[in-house]
Structure 1
Amino acid sequence: MQIMCLNGWGGKLHDRLIPFLHDTTPDVLCLQEVVHSPATDKDWLTYRDGDHVLPQRANFFRDVAQALPSHVATFCPAARGVLWDDDQSIPSQWGLATFVHKSIPIIAQRQAFVHKEFSPDGYGDHPRSRSAHAFRVYDFANDTPVAIAHMHGLRDLAGKMDTPDRAAQASRLKDLATSVAEPNDPLIVCGDFNVEPGSETFDILADAGLTDLVTTRDFPGTRSSLYKKQSRFADYMMVNSVTKVRSFDVIYSPEVSDHCPLVLET
């Protein structure tokens, strides 16, 4: 089973990302930073947050679902705010999404928040609400259930240092992931954690028997050349000792986001 984890950057590189997903067709795609704007048929809108202005693919969730028509698509919103079409505000939901091939049954799942609650009236102050999705599937090829969870970790304007909020989100993610897993299940936890290697996040998740594949295999980072800041790490994929890792890679080319896709074969 192939599992891909990626922060999609709001679909900013739609013309590269959609063909990449269509061609690779992972069995499971854990996608963060997903835009869902059912109130409009526009292709592009603009996100505005002070000096931070970013083009957003208005219906990114729909676009990915259409690129993966053989997958079950689940959207997990964190907040409902507005994007902009020139001077017109458009209500838009923001969160993460999971895509599972229809041949792989989802036998349990749970959606929850690792920070704050759903924000229905705007994106809110930083650090903003963060959702997570945990699910259990049956992998027929390996004849075993597999539990998977992913989140988009807090963005703190001060940086990626450890904070009480980040420790709390790691504990909630651990509890969410283990709540859908049964004893002896392979367990995979991934996402854009928004922390540096060495963060206490990894110690907290290690309590569930999880080990990170990015930092323990000497990858130089998980950010593409499109990310201009100094830090090169944000995304991680952690597995327990029961998980059979046939291969794991950080995909540096093609560049489909300012994050790199993480790809695990079990």
Structure 2
Amino acid sequence: MLRHRHLATVTLALGLVVLTDVLRVFLPSVITIFGQAASTPAELLGAFALGWFVLALAAPVLVVRVGARPVGLVALVVLGAARLALTAVPGGRTQLWLATAGLLAGLVWLAAAASQVTHPVPGLVYGLTAGALGHAMFGTHDPVWWGRWEAWLPSVAVVALLLVAAVASARQPDVAGRDGDAATMPPARSWLLAGPSLLLGGMLALSPAVAGTANSFWFGHAGTAEPPLFALAPLTGAVALFVFCALFPPPQGRLRLLFPVLLLAGTLLFGYGPPSALGVAMLLAAAGLGGCLALTTVQRGPSTVARRGYAAIGGMLVFAVATVLFYAAYDIGYPNGWLPVVVAMVVGAVAHGGRQSASGAAVAPVDATTELTRPVTAARPVRALLAALLAALVALVAAVMHGPWLTATNRPGPPTQVRLVAYNIRMGFGLDGRLDLAALDRAIGRADVVLLSEVDRGWLLNGGHDTLHLLATRLEMPYVFAPAAGALWGDAVLSRWPVRQAQTRALPAVGAPTGAQALGVTVDFSDGVRLAVVSTHLQPPPGTDPVVQARAVAGFATAYADGRPLVVAGDFNTEPGDPAFTALTDAGLVDAFAAVRPLPTSPADDPRQQIDHIFVSPDLPATDPVAIASTASDHLPVAVTLKLPPGERN
């Protein structure tokens, strides 16, 4: 039979997994459902998201007055019920409010857990690691978004295990103590770091999507092509370092600065380093974050039930504030690379703040018993090593299961015509607020070349999904990715034929908060038949025509094509007759939709704006132009059939 401390650790870990699942729905729901496709001011979005975390500050008072066990059990039941209900709802406001209820219940449970768990670090570590590994095993496509009966199997299993562990733990003798027994409890610092650890882990250190994207910058033309087999290799190293550094006895003396420094270095690389350094940033941040959690086991003094509860909710409030501030930068317009660095500095300061002896050595770490200063035994390093190896093994299995396998092949002879689709996919979320890969697949159809805008490859705000790889796998089309806003958000080209000579060009920002780029690839149809394709998404400041960016795209595309047939397509945020549109036609490009104007493409449920376009060179006939009806995004996909000039077949 499991001891109380083991049951408490299991409950904490599983609860954190379910809470993370709910957060992966709550955050994008705030943007896509409450935000109404960017029509809601960013300030109001932030206030709505933060309000629930602020409301949870009342939870410690509830725990003290009613009792941790009844409050914790009721909150877990609500959290589990909300998580299961999210598997069934078809999106919309019901999804938003269920996710909100689950989030609030999860925060109340966390405050209750803080008053009971004698040694929280193992539970926090196992919970963060299990959440990341589960996310990896599902290829970052969580069951809540599957929309089929198989989604219930893992969902029910996790929630059932959580409730069984919670009930079994509640039946055990209360070893946690109440306020009068505060000396038997560890300090509140571990709970204070729960929220920041969830933030830095989901944003960088333990993100499967970030691991795959990091590898993609090391392979292919221009460092942007699809990653090779074992694309999740950085995750394997990251989870092993995180678990080992978190569970291994923390260092003493000046060596205690090692982990805060590693965490700071990782976040600095993430915020200011090149995309090629993303994998290194992940490994540094994982080791540093785990080590900082280990440092919180150094005894600092007793703490009350209320103090530990406020620490847990306060840490989650840090998570919420930092998340909102980091991603609001892409709407409001201010530098945000510093924010993960500041969070890392806070984590390092809290972790390093443990009491030391007069000789400078740290007080012995807290063990998972009521004796807080029991000496560390030889078994603990062994357990840390075994746990790290097990986590690495699971990550390796996930890497093999979801490694890239798509290969573009030369078909017999060049085609006579090519179907091309351009689509702003809004990070994969439809108007109903759900990540619906099947709907995106249906909207794109059997295209031969696909140009995507607003491609998300691991933003925590959107649930940490690698939407590009998920969609490319479903379409069975290899891809080339080009970042526009940070390393994880940008544009892509997918092709059933091999692509060559990929180039990406940053566009002038002209005061816009979100970055923009132009990605050029050459599609090789064999026998000397080639097509130059440029994918872009113009991002002007609000209320401004993107004429400067349009001229930059036209210049880049013309030079890149170098006389070959050329297609330039994407979300241009400009309408026919506007200066930016005219800049492209004045450069010699032809509007492929001229014969069917007006052709509105946004918003998807009531199209009024003509802002998604396909331009071609004069020697490239385009037929069958259409805007495809779909609500899988807030834009409609646009498509044409291209006939390659006979002169290219030589």
Q: Is the 8 A contact 1:247 1:264 kept in 2?
A: yes
Distance 2:585 2:596 in 1: 17
Other structure's SS at 1:197 match? coil
The one-character-per-residue Cα deviations of 1:18-64 (angstroms, maximum 9, x if unpaired) are 4326x7231111000011118xxxxxx53xxxxxxxx5672211211
Contact in 1 for aligned 2:604/2:633 (Cα 8 Å): no
Q: Secondary structure of the equivalent of 1:135?
A: strand
Shift of 1:68: 2.4
Of 635, 642, 645, which residue of structure 2 is paired with 1:259?
635
> Aligned residue for 2:473?
66
Cα deviation code 1:138-188 (max 9, x no counterpart) = 3359x732111121111422x2x43xxx222112101221122132x2211
Whole-angstrom distance in 2 between the partners of 1:3 and 1:19: 14
Long gaps (5+) in structure 2: 1-417, 643-650
* Shift in alpha-carbon separation, 1:25–1:240, aligned structure 2, 3 A: same
Residue 112 of structure 1 and its aligned partner are, at CA, apart by 1.0
Match of 1:24? 445
Q: Would the alpha carbon gap of residues 152 and 257 (structure 1) be closer, same or farther in structure 2, given more than 3 Å must change?
A: same
Larger radius of gyration: 2
Tell me, in whole angstroms, the C-alpha distance in 1 between the residues paired with 2:587 and 2:463: 36
Contact 1:115 1:128 in 2 (8 A): no
Residue from 131, 136, 146 that aligns with 2:517: 131
CA pair 186-223 structure 1, distance change in 2 beyond 3 A: same
- Among 489, 500, 505, the residue aligned to 1:112: 505
TM-score (norm: length of structure 1): 0.73
1:202 deviation in Å?
2.4
Judge conservation of contact 1:31–1:98 (CA < 8 Å) in 2.
Answer: yes
Instruction: Name the SS of the counterpart of 1:176 in structure 2.
Output: helix
Tell me if structure 2 keeps the 8 A contact 1:17–1:257: no
Q: 1:114–1:126: structure 2 CA closer, same or farther, 3 Å change rule?
A: closer
CA distance in 2, matches of 1:210, 1:56: 38
Partner of 1:95: 490
Alignment of 1:1-266 (within 5 A): 1-13=418-430, 14-15=435-436, 16-20=438-442, 24-37=445-458, 45-46=460-461, 58-69=465-476, 71-80=477-486, 93-101=488-496, 104-116=497-509, 126-140=512-526, 144-157=529-542, 159=543, 161-162=544-545, 166-183=546-563, 185-226=564-605, 231-252=608-629, 254-266=630-642
Contact map agreement 1:227 1:258 (CA 8 A) in 2: no
Letter in 2 for 1:149: V
- The residue identity in structure 1 corresponding to 2:631 is E
3-state DSSP of counterpart to 1:233: coil
In the TM superposition, structure 1's runs of 4+ consecutive aligned residues that sit over 6 Å from their partners are none
- Mark the CA change 1:156 to 1:108 in structure 2 (over 3 Å): closer, same or farther: same
Cα separation, 2, equivalents of 1:227 and 1:33: 20
2:362 counterpart residue number? none
Task: Using the TM superposition, give the Cα deviation of residue 131 of structure 1 relative to its aligned residue in structure 2, in angstroms.
Answer: 1.5
Aligned partners of 1:11 and 1:56 also within 8 Å = no
Residues 35, 56 of structure 1: 8 Å contact kept? no
For 2:612, the aligned partner's letter is D
* Contact kept? 1:227, 1:259, Cα under 8 Å: no
| Structure-2 separation of matches of 1:225 and 1:129 | 24
Distance in 2 (alpha carbons) for counterparts of 1:37 and 1:57 = 4
Question: How many residues are aligned here?
Answer: 220
The whole-number CA distance in structure 1 between the counterparts of 2:500 and 2:480 is 14
Deviations 1:200-222 (A, max 9, x none): 12222223311212344223401
Unaligned runs of 5+ in 1: 39-44, 47-54, 81-91, 118-124
Report the Cα offset of residue 194 of structure 1. 0.6
Measured in 2, the distance between the counterparts of 1:190 and 1:10 equals 18
Q: 2: CA distance between counterparts of 1:255 and 1:62?
A: 21
Separation in structure 2 between the aligned mates of residue 215 and residue 207 of structure 1, nearest angstrom = 15
Question: % of aligned pairs identical?
Answer: 25
Structure 2 letter corresponding to 1:243: L
User: Residue type of the partner of 1:93?
Assistant: L
Deviations along 1:104-135, whole A, 9 cap, x unmatched?
Answer: 23232211111349xxxxxxx74321122011
Asked if structure 2 preserves the Cα contact closer than 8 Å seen for 1:36 and 1:94, the reply is: yes
Separation in 1, partners of 2:627, 2:440:
18
How many angstroms apart in 2 are the aligned matches of 1:206 and 1:238? Answer: 8
> Which letter does structure 2 place at the counterpart of 1:72?
P
In 2, are the aligned partners of 1:222 and 1:235 still within 8 Å (CA)? yes
Structure 1 residues 68 and 197, CA gap change in structure 2 (3 angstroms) = same
Between 1 and 2, higher relative CO (CA 8 Å, sep ≥ 6) is seen in 1
**CA 1:133–1:225 in structure 2 vs 1: closer, same or farther (change >3 Å)?**
closer
Q: What is the TM-score of this pair, normalised by structure 2?
A: 0.32
Q: Amino acid of the residue matched to residue 439 of structure 2?
A: L
